[in-house]
Amino acid sequence: MGLIRKVLWLKRQSNEEGFTLIESLIVLLIFIVLSLALVVNMKPAKEHAVISQFFEQLEKDILYAQQHAVVSQNSYYFIYSASSKQYSIRSSGIYPQKLIERAYNEEITMTKQTMPYTFYFDPQGNISASGTILVQYKEQHYLIKFYLGKGRFHVEKV
């Protein structure tokens, strides 16, 4: 009788501890489904971060060029290139000083609409031309509109 009690006691102990294979598989399946949902939702957030970071940096660089022109009392040129995927800011003169040269994401395209590929800010901070630049990122289209006067501009989604 002592042996049967011992076997029943061991059986009861083993049933109370640990997880069965089915329980472990269910938990693993739930974890995989939640992980996939997270990965699928991260792609649009990454795409939004790329384009918003691009416009944030571009805005800061343009304002920096304008401020630098006023402070140094010299004209500063903003030059963008659709083929090389970069833009630069340089001073005017015989030996132009390179203020900024920045490459941007390969999937972003800046195309001339009515704004020339090169424009400048004069020593009073005024922009040399008004117009628009088309920016494309994947299926999204944006217009950067520059206004004459104090070099104001804004971005709008098309």
Residue with tokens 């004459």: 148
For residue 122, the model assigns a pLDDT of 92
Q: What are the tens digits of pLDDT across the range 107-146? A: 999 998 998 999 999 999 999 988 999 999 988 999 999 9
Residue 137: CB atoms within 10 Å:
18
Percent of the chain exceeding pLDDT 90 equals 47
Q: Are 133 and 144 in contact (CB under 8 A)?
A: yes
pLDDT on residue 10: 62
Evaluate whether 109 touches 135 at the Cβ level (below 8 Å): yes
Element (DSSP H or E) covering residue 78? strand 76-81
pLDDT of residue 29: 86
Q: Is 105 helix (H, G, I), strand (E, B) or coil?
A: coil
Q: Which domains does the chain have, with CATH numbers?
A: 43-157 (3.55.40.10)
Both structure tokens of 104: 């941007």
pLDDT the model gives residue 110: 92
Say whether pLDDT at 19 is over 90: no
Q: Report the 10 Å Cβ neighbour count for 58.
A: 22
- DSSP-derived letter for residue 128 is S
What number is the average pLDDT over the span 15-41? 77
- Mean predicted lDDT score pLDDT of the chain: 85
Burial 91-119 (b: 16+ CB within 10 A, else e): beeeeeeebbeeebeeebebeeeebeeeb
Region 11-30 average pLDDT: 73
Interacting residues of 53 by C-beta distance below 8 A, sequence separation 6+: none
Of 44-53, 56-65, 148-157, give the range with the top mean pLDDT. Answer: 56-65
Count of CB atoms situated within 10 Å of the CB of 48 = 12
| Residues in contact with 93: Cβ distance below 8 Å, sequence separation at least 6, in sequence order | 74
Task: Categorize the per-residue pLDDT at 57 as very low, low, confident or very high, splitting at 50, 70 and 90.
Answer: very high
More confident: 17 or 5: 5
| Predicted model pTM | 0.72
